[in-house]
Structure 1
Amino acid sequence: MATISAVLRRGEPRFNIVGQKLPDSLYDTDEQISPGLVRRLRGYALKQLASAGFEVGEWDCEVYTTDSDRRPAERVYCVEFINQKGGMLGLQGIMTYRGHPSLDHGLTVDCDRTPPSSNPIPHGKRDGGGL
């Protein structure tokens, strides 16, 4: 069970030929989420998922934010738990109050993901699909 964290920056908005917005490109920054906040966000997500009937405590965990342009107290965080088969359950849009998770936007589900322990976030550009 690995836990990694990242502060990501959104790239410039892109549009296709008919004006539809394309997925955002995400770039890794040199910033880190504090270990204490990562622990609190992970615990909050585990509690919320357990109350919804999901036991993901043994899965790899990724904690990230795409709000690098905001102060840490104003950022919105996501916590994703990824199993070895590529299934992902997570909690998105987690807001904090004085460094403690206090509100979220709900569950997120995805498949065909690579667990963080086998493919950590590379430095530089990262595809925004699925985030």
Structure 2
Amino acid sequence: MSADTLVDLAPIEPPPEGRVPKGAEQAIAEWRRKGPTNLFTACPELKPSLPKTVRAATAEDFAAVRKGRPASSLFITGIMAPFISRDGRYIINSQRYHCSGLCGGVTATIRTRQAGGWSKRTIIFDVMS
């Protein structure tokens, strides 16, 4: 069985405090003040690049997830537009997902700019049920 993958276009709230790489505290604080923006709201031109089987989640889809529709039939994902600190040293990403019943979660990660690219991600918050 394949899952229906839906896109949650609602804004994603900053997660509570978590692990932060040394020196990144100011970037995290700035991200919290700004509030994350959904990737497809910030960059609507990306929507057409989604697979044809992916669509925006509706209120009815969220209701179906809460009612406990079989987990294999519905999966809703929200992806935050990357946040880059003012000094360009850090990038923060966040995503969340909803599935049947109590299933769901949110993850926030941070990367540090290094010569030739970005560091491996550090999870600053991760929760699932």
TM range (shorter): 0.3 to 0.5
Q: Higher helix share goes to which structure?
A: 2
Length-normalised TM-score, structure 2: 0.34
Length-normalised TM-score, structure 1: 0.33
